[in-house]
Amino acid sequence: MVDAITILAVALLVGGVAGTVVPLVPGGLLSLSGLLLYWWHTGFTEPGTVAMLAFLFLGLCTVFVEFFAGASSARYGGASWTTTAIAVVVAMVLLVVTGPVGLVVGLFGTVFLVEFVRNGDLETSSRAAFYASVGVLASTAVQVLLTVTIFLGFVVVVFVL
C-alpha cells in the first residue's frame, strides 16, 4: 500500500516536470523536494545512496540551468551585464503580464534595443538578442529532459527494482 508521504513525493516530482514549462514555477526545486522528502520518509534507505546522489546531481543541474542558462547565453552572445540584468527584469514582468510569448519577445527586444543603444551595431545587437532568446528556450528543453529523467529514474528505482 502506498502512503500519503509517497504520494506527496511523487506529486512533487510530477510538479517538477510540469514546473519546467509553467512560468514562475521552480521545477528543479520541486523535483529535489520530492526526492528528499521520499528519502527522508524511508529513513534514508530508499533509493540507495548511489541512486540518490545521481538524482541530486541531476536536480542541482536543473536548478543551475533554470537560473543561469538564459543569462549565460546572453553574455555568450555579446550582451553586457547591464543588458542582461535589464532584460531579465523586463522579461519577468512581461512573463507575468503576457505569458511565455511575452517573455521571449520581450527578452529579444530588450537585449536588442539596449545593446543597439550601447554600441550602435545592428549585427552585434541582433546576435546578442538571438543568443539570449535561444538560450531561454534551450534551457527550458534541458530542464524538461532533466526533470523527466529524475522522475522516470525515481519510478524505476523505487517502484520497479
* Mean pLDDT, all residues of the chain: 91
pLDDT tens track for 106-134: 889 999 999 999 999 999 999 999 999 99
Q: What pLDDT score does 2 carry?
A: 80
The answer to whether residue 1 scores a pLDDT higher than 70 is no
Beta carbons of 92 and 71 less than 8 angstroms apart = no
Is the CA virtual torsion 56, 88, 141, 24 positive or negative?
positive
Inform me whether the pLDDT recorded for 137 exceeds 80. yes
From 31, 90, 23, select the one nearest 57 (Cα to Cα): 31
pTM score, whole prediction = 0.86
- 3-48, pLDDT tens digit by residue? 999 999 999 999 999 999 887 789 999 999 999 999 999 999 999 9
The yes-or-no verdict on residue 67 having pLDDT over 90 is no
The pLDDT of residue 160 is 92
Q: What torsion do the CA atoms of 37, 39, 42, 43 make, to the nearest 10 degrees?
A: -110
| Contact between 114 and 86 (Cβ < 8 Å) | yes
What pLDDT is stored for residue 98 in this prediction?
86
